[in-house]
Amino acid sequence: MSTLNILKSKKLDHYNTPLYIWKMLMKFLEFNKETIIYEPFFNDGKSKTYFQKLGYNNIIHENEDFFTSYEKYNLDIVNYID
């Protein structure tokens, strides 16, 4: 698929971090399995599944506005990588 086709197929600039990148990143991030991670960028909703595949089950990943919702959660880390 050419870059031009990719750009035409995306209506918004929402690009999710694929699972293979998360696998590489987790080697450098200081998350333990009990960490409560708030993943505010919902996009297609796959981030929670990716974290679960990596063994992280305390994931907050809802299709809601981060700026009006984050304060209601008890969390350890807000993930700004998307």
pLDDT, mean of residues 55-72: 90
What is the per-residue pLDDT for 1? 44
pLDDT band at 60 (very low <50, low <70, confident <90, very high): very high
Residue-by-residue DSSP string for the chain: --HHHHHHH-SSS--PPPHHHHHHHTTTS---TT--EE----TTS-HHHHHHHTT---EE--SS-HHHHGGGS--SEE----
1: its two tokens: 């698929």
d(CA 74, CA 9): 37
pLDDT, mean of residues 6-20: 68
The residue ranges of every structural domain in the chain are: 16-78
